[in-house]
Structure 1
Amino acid sequence: MSELSERFETHESGEKQIAEKIRCDACPVMCYIAEGRTGACDRYGNVGGRIVRLDPLTILDHMAETGGAVVPFVAEGEDWNGELVNPGRRFVTAIGAGTTYPDYKPAPFIVSQEVEGVDLVTVVTEGIFSYCGVKVKIDTDRHLGPETATVRVQGEAVGHVTTGEYGSQMLSLGGVHHLTGGSKAEGRATCDALLNLCNRKPVELAIEGGATVVVEAGKPPVIDGKLEQRMRVGCGSATIGMFATQWRGLVDEVVVVDDHITGVVSEHQAGKVLDWQDTGIRIVGRRSTPGRYFKVSEPGLGWGGTTISDPLSILGEWNAKKGARPGLSMLMVSTTGEQFAYYELDGDLKPIQKPFPERLAKSVRLIEENCEPALCTVLFVGGAGGSLRAGVTENPVNLTRSVHRLQTYVTVGGAPVYVWPGGGITLMVDVTRVPDNAFGYVPTPALVAPIEFTMRRDTYVQLGGHEKEIRSIADIVAHGGEYLNARHVLGAPSRNPWPPLAQLWRHEGAPR
């Protein structure tokens, strides 16, 4: 018997319950769980003959100076004396709250509290997201792989490379087709990768026809075993524009090598404004506008995200009629300042590498200083669908309209989200702004993410919300809920405001 099948069993609705096991209805798997064991998700267990949400309900304290550490608030079995420290700044998140499954159930917690004179309601639930994925932004000028190349984890396809942006490589991972539309192995690998990425754990991604990348949110990428240090300051042309004045009078020519746009200072408009003299240089590439060249090399892991290790390979013959002369000096540098070299033309107008002069060291350091640190950003993207919205109101479309009218503010574990325009509630959140281990999974497979909807109480009533289920924050802290095991309080990150729209909600003229 496998470890998984030993840990849980599932049955069709209506089947006889197995002796000494309790059926959990928190997700569609409907596990039967024995005493002291957990379901397939590791989130719910049989504790003392009842189904318990094993992770604690997380309450954010926006005044706590805990540095982000979780501290016990009310542990199971302890008495609560009825006192709240600064209750107006507490926010009950959906982390550890439980789900709305099956769909007809109201959300696990519908919390009422007054904040700055505004009577607010926050509807709290852990959503089961089959329609979800992550967008990964990797700050590096290294070439990771061609656009649309398949991204694999443990040999299984989990996403693809998408269009690169300024100084960053972009990946799109997950989505319903990888989670449920392929083989079971593909679905498991996708779910596992998404869960680890969202919980800020490292994941090794293999890109077809490209690199192997270790991605961890908030950390620099590791590309083919090498830890990246910085992203590029800009393309070669932008680098010329930013630093041309630093080179004026110190060197005769500067070439900034870049996979996208290689810059040449003597031809560039920035150089012309500074009255830079022509040098007779010739770049092997496709000239775009003066001083800007495309396709000097194929993309790769070399200088400026190209395949080259010798920057002289992008130069053609020098033209004496246009300014080339023996002794002419040239700096070649990459867009991160990691690679640089100094040359002088000999009597045959051939560039000869010379010791790097101290007079140019400052300008190279300036490029490095202006580069952002290499970083991986992971954005969770999910569509809040039927059961989520039904847990808020009996007429789910009202919630969608309320969100788009800015009547309802959406958060994930207390972190602000971006809600995409158009139909539905498609949201995107930076996982580094969400408390640790906020995401879970169910083996359907799908991700479980905390989600909160906050609005004025009168707005909630107008939406057709589950008014009878509204409870005060004091009551929730004191008594918990159906599956609640314990409560923890967490010092909220200072960049997550609460509530961000309280000033707007205070006025009658708020958007409707």
Structure 2
Amino acid sequence: MTETRIAPAVEAAPPDPKEKGADIVRCDACPVLCRIREGRSGACDRYANEGGKLVRTDPLVLMGRSIENETGELVPFLKDGEGWSGKLTADAPVFVSGIGATTTYPDYKPAPFIVGSRWQGVDTVTVVTEGIFSYCSVKVKIDTDRHLGPEQASVLCDGEPVGHVTTAEYGSQMLSLGGVRHLTGGSKKEGVVTCATMLSLCNKEAVELEIDGGAKVVVQAGQAPIVDGEAEERMRVGCGSATIGIFAQQWHGHADEVIVVDDHITGVLSEHQAGAYLDMKPAGIRVRGRKSTPGRYFQVAEPGSGWGGTDITDPLSIIQKIDPKTAWPGLRLLMVSTTGEDAIYCELDGDLVPVPKVMPDPLQIVVDRIAENCEPALCSVAFVAGAGGSLRAGVTENPVRLTRSVRDALTRVTMGGAPCYLWPGGGITVMVDVMKMPDNSFGSVPTPALVAPLEFTMPRQDFARLGGHTGSIVPLEDLTDGRVALRAEAWPAGNPWPMGGA
């Protein structure tokens, strides 16, 4: 990351910046309308009073791609230990992000930056702003089988409700945090805590959450979850039935029965279709729970932090009965969890009672292989927001045309340069993986609401066609005229280039 401060900041131009009092400037960038004294910043820390002028406090972030030189070598936009020259050309592989752009909300005037450039022979426009979002939420995916709490249970931070547990997904627990009802529909403290929680998560910081009636979990994007003080290492390879399907042939000949303990579907090998395929004879060991299809059982135990996401610490306790007409002394039984963290090997004695034994090497290899096939447990954070309302007026005088242009894929929507998923249906509802965005991309305002970078990129002719503010287009190279503070960052290699092409 390289910062080039070409000027302290760009002076904003509110209609009437000065109010009574020689050292007070009024900011109209959002409805809070802060009155800022000399040397101070507003409530959002994004505008300040510098010498009686309203200025931006953060530099505008430019993101550049590596380019090929005349010898065909890739030259990085930023070289290690070297600064950025500060030079731009109309066709430079540089993208102007919304980070540091500030906002014009409510958008009764054009967006802060409408930048014209040329990419692969096409005149392109990128409309750059920072949106203020009350209608926004954070979806959190936590890779763990451990029970965090019942669905619909409240998620608390600092004792305040900030969201709820939602439907679990394959190998992961899911939380839905934020939303307008928590931000503005509850107490003032609830709104403030909710905003702070979302801001920290979106900026990839660690947050401790407590599930009502459940666990305490530390969540940080890109890091392993910490559940009740223990760091999670791996997510399950699959449910109990899937685990049997994957490893049945490797167990065959080394065990007469394998039971894979799982909160959702516990698998029993000899009854399973995989066992039938291997011509395994019935073992006569019946587990508790509700039988679904052969070898697949639901509700063998309550959810918990034990074996396979159940409350089981003694796996033999899920055995309901052993049929003396079918089972036999010496029967080899393996019980294992869906992550391989827990496993036990037993042999039936003369009374058909399972007796723990040392795990044979061929079975230990497969147990270790289950663990090897489990992916590392991580927390994922996705920011969801409705990029509608007056925000579109900062782009065009006819907002519905922007919505249609986005839906027709003529306009690309990015957040801090990161690709967004566009939800089907009406409006412009976007979802972005915060790990694909530059660090500290998000801010907040005290309404409370989150502030996030937003960019709309399209061909210049399409911008004119949708009624865009063509009179406010600034050539890319003019950003280095000394009036704008800039910071340069290298383009993330995994993100697609918003302007299209290679």
Name the TM tier (shorter chain): over 0.9
Displacement of 1:88 in angstroms is: 2.5
User: Residue 493 of structure 2 corresponds to which residue in structure 1?
Assistant: 494
User: Residue 366 of structure 1 corresponds to which residue in structure 2?
Assistant: 369
After superposition, the C-alpha distances for 1:181-211 in whole angstroms (9 at most, x for unaligned) are 1110000000000000000000111100110
User: Residue 507 of structure 1 corresponds to which residue in structure 2?
Assistant: none
Whichever residue aligns with residue 358 of structure 2, its letter is P
The 1-side partners of 2:277 and 2:331 are apart by 21
Q: Among residues 237, 252, 257, which one is paired with 1:253 in the alignment?
A: 257
User: Which runs of 5 or more residues in structure 1 are unaligned?
Assistant: 1-12, 75-79, 504-512
Secondary structure at the aligned position of 2:152 is classed as coil
Whichever residue aligns with residue 25 of structure 1, its letter is D
1:501–1:102 distance in 2 versus 1, CA, 3 Å: same
Q: Is the 8 A contact 2:329 2:351 kept in 1?
A: yes
Residue 356 in 1 paired to residue 355 in 2? no
Residue 22 in 1 paired to residue 21 in 2? no
Secondary structure at the aligned position of 1:289 is classed as coil
Q: Is the 8 A contact 1:72 1:487 kept in 2?
A: no
The 1-side partners of 2:17 and 2:41 are apart by 21
Secondary structure at the aligned position of 1:239 is classed as helix
After superposition, the C-alpha distances for 1:443-487 in whole angstroms (9 at most, x for unaligned) are 00000000000011000000000001111110123344xxx4x20
Whichever residue aligns with residue 371 of structure 2, its letter is E
Secondary structure at the aligned position of 1:88 is classed as coil
User: Residue 424 of structure 1 corresponds to which residue in structure 2?
Assistant: 427
User: Which runs of 5 or more residues in structure 2 are unaligned?
Assistant: 1-15, 67-74
1:145-156 alignment runs, 5 A limit: 145-156=149-160
Secondary structure at the aligned position of 1:398 is classed as helix
The 2-side partners of 1:94 and 1:65 are apart by 22
1:313-328 alignment runs, 5 A limit: 313-322=317-326, 324-328=327-331
Secondary structure at the aligned position of 2:402 is classed as helix
1:55–1:293 distance in 2 versus 1, CA, 3 Å: same
Secondary structure at the aligned position of 2:276 is classed as helix
User: Residue 228 of structure 1 corresponds to which residue in structure 2?
Assistant: 232
Q: How many residues are matched?
A: 479
Q: Is the 8 A contact 2:417 2:437 kept in 1?
A: yes
Residue 55 in 1 paired to residue 58 in 2? yes
The 2-side partners of 1:254 and 1:385 are apart by 54
1:35–1:72 distance in 2 versus 1, CA, 3 Å: farther
Runs (4+) of structure 1 exceeding 6 A deviation are: 66-71
Residue 403 in 1 paired to residue 406 in 2? yes
1:70–1:348 distance in 2 versus 1, CA, 3 Å: farther
User: Residue 207 of structure 1 corresponds to which residue in structure 2?
Assistant: 211
1:286-297 alignment runs, 5 A limit: 286-297=290-301
Greater shift, 84-93 or 362-371, is seen at 84-93
Displacement of 1:65 in angstroms is: 4.5
1:457-496 alignment runs, 5 A limit: 457-480=460-483, 484=484, 486-496=485-495
Residue 124 in 1 paired to residue 123 in 2? no
The 2-side partners of 1:106 and 1:15 are apart by 22
The 2-side partners of 1:448 and 1:158 are apart by 18
The 1-side partners of 2:51 and 2:83 are apart by 22
The 2-side partners of 1:22 and 1:16 are apart by 6
Greater shift, 25-34 or 415-424, is seen at 25-34
The 2-side partners of 1:421 and 1:43 are apart by 33
1:139-150 alignment runs, 5 A limit: 139-150=143-154
The 2-side partners of 1:307 and 1:477 are apart by 62
The 2-side partners of 1:97 and 1:199 are apart by 17
Q: Among residues 95, 107, 132, which one is paired with 2:99 in the alignment?
A: 95
Q: Among residues 182, 186, 190, which one is paired with 2:186 in the alignment?
A: 182
User: Residue 113 of structure 2 corresponds to which residue in structure 1?
Assistant: 109
% identical aligned pairs: 62
Whichever residue aligns with residue 389 of structure 2, its letter is G
The 1-side partners of 2:178 and 2:78 are apart by 32
Secondary structure at the aligned position of 1:321 is classed as coil
Q: Among residues 31, 36, 47, which one is paired with 1:44 in the alignment?
A: 47
The 2-side partners of 1:53 and 1:348 are apart by 80
Whichever residue aligns with residue 253 of structure 1, its letter is E
The 2-side partners of 1:71 and 1:25 are apart by 38
User: Residue 164 of structure 1 corresponds to which residue in structure 2?
Assistant: 168
1:70–1:420 distance in 2 versus 1, CA, 3 Å: farther
Q: Is the 8 A contact 1:94 1:126 kept in 2?
A: yes
The 2-side partners of 1:410 and 1:170 are apart by 26
Greater shift, 58-67 or 155-164, is seen at 58-67
User: Residue 341 of structure 1 corresponds to which residue in structure 2?
Assistant: 344
Let me know the Cα RMSD of the aligned residues.
Answer: 1.9
